[in-house]
Each structure stands twice: as C-alpha cells, then as structure tokens.
C-alpha cells in the first residue's frame, strides 16, 4: 500500500492513488440505501486484524437473495460503480451469487454467502473504523476461517498475520468448531502450530 502525505502526516490508506474511504463510502452507501446486510472481507478487512498488504480489489459478502442482488447491482450502477459485464460473461456459474464491479480503478466483488459459515459470520461481524468511515468487517476468527477455506499461499500468510496480531484474543473454541464443520481442521491446526 503506497503511503501519501495528508496534512503533513503519512496516509497508508491510499491504493493506486484512490482513497479507501472514498471507495468504501460509495459502496457502503449503496448497501445502506438498499438495507442490505454486508460484511467487508478479503485483503481490505486484513488491515483491521493483521498486517495490511497491497491489493487492487475490495470484497464484500452481502446477505441477500438472487433478486435482491440484482436490485443492489442496479443501485450500484446508478451510483457510478460500473458492472463488469465481461467478467460476468466469462463466469456464468457465478451468476446470481457474485457480481464484479469497477470503481475508480478498483475491482469490487460482491458475493452472496456460499455456505453455512458465510451466513454465520454476519452474526459475528464487527463495526470498525476504516479511515473516517465506520463499516461492518468480518471478525478475526471468521477472517482466518475464510482464508483457510480458500487455501492459497497468500491466504495462509493472511491468516498467520491475523494470528500473530490477535493471538490470545481469538476464540479458539469457535475456530476449532467451525474448522471441523467446514472441513479445514487440519489447515487450522497447521497455522496454529506455527
């Protein structure tokens, strides 16, 4: 994440010359306008719980049905957030469950829950300050579980970052219970052992 100067202070929350606050503000306004429950996930949520890392996309889970996802898409397009029609064309299996938008050079992925755990994390979301904007962010435990579900090397690094920073504050019983339920207990034991 490149740092920029703002009133003589370094600002780490600018990506590719675009303010995180500006992007989040526009997107979250759409969610609120449609009364859509949302949770910030992915690398931008990592900055709340672990070591921030550079990324050019922002990911949200939204608790809506397929029809409401369409209405949310319409609102976002009206707000100047462009629907990525090409991505949708090349990912037909995700139609109705995930949308991709472009806003000020940032890719915005909006996804519906894929499994029982994705639904559960809405009950444990946390209100966190991202720049000057408060928004709902995935809990550190659910962040770790989501990263282990995906399982790429970068995801393991992100999970370790949260473990290092949050450490003893994490609810290990919750992590182990859900690790068992979603079939990633071995991966969880691995990162906990490091």
- Residue 157 in tokens: 């690094």
Residue reference for tokens 């957030």: 81
Pick the CATH number of 4-138 from 3.30.450.30, 2.40.50.140, 3.40.630.40, 3.30.460.10: 3.30.460.10
The pLDDT, as a whole number, for residue 17 is 58
pLDDT tens for 129-181 read 988 889 999 999 999 999 999 999 999 999 999 999 998 899 999 999 999 99
pLDDT tens for 62-114 read 999 999 999 999 999 999 999 999 999 999 999 999 999 999 889 999 999 99
Task: Give the least confident one: 21-30, 113-122, 139-148.
Answer: 21-30
The backbone torsions φ and ψ at residue 146, rounded to the nearest 5 degrees and listed phi first, read -60, -45
pTM: 0.89
Q: What is the DSSP letter of 170?
A: S
Determine contact, residues 190/147, Cβ cutoff 8 Å: no
Across the chain, the runs of DSSP E, i.e. the strands, are 4-6, 9-11, 14-15, 18-19, 38-41, 57-62, 82-83, 98-103, 106-111, 126-130, 133-137
Closest CA relative to residue 15, chosen from 51, 44, 45, 56: 56
Enumerate the CATH 3.30.460.10 domain ranges in the chain, comma separated: 4-138
153-166 and 140-150 helices cross at what angle (nearest 10)? Answer: 160
pLDDT at 2 over 70: no
The pLDDT, as a whole number, for residue 13 is 53
The pLDDT, as a whole number, for residue 130 is 86
């Amino acid at each position: 994440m490149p740092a920029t100067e703002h009133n003589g202070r370094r600002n780490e929350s600018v990506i590719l010359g675009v303010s995180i606050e500006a992007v989040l503000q526009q997107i979250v306004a759409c969610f609120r306008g449609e009364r859509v429950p949302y949770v910030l996930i992915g690398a931008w949520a990592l900055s709340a719980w672990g070591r921030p890392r550079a990324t050019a996309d922002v990911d949200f889970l939204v608790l809506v049905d397929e029809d409401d996802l369409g209405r949310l898409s319409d609102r976002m397009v009206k707000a100047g957030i462009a629907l990525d029609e090409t991505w949708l064309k090349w990912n037909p299996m995700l139609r109705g469950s995930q949308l991709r938008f472009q806003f000020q050079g940032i890719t915005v992925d909006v996804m519906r829950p894929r499994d029982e755990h994705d639904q559960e994390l809405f009950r444990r979301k946390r209100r966190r300050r991202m720049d000057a904007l408060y928004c709902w962010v995935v809990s550190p435990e659910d962040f770790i579980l989501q990263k282990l579900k995906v399982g790429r090397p970068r995801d393991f690094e992100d999970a370790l970052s949260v473990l290092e920073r949050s450490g003893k504050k994490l609810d290990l019983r919750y992590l182990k219970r859900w690790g068992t339920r979603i079939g990633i207990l071995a991966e969880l034991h691995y990162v906990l052992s490091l």
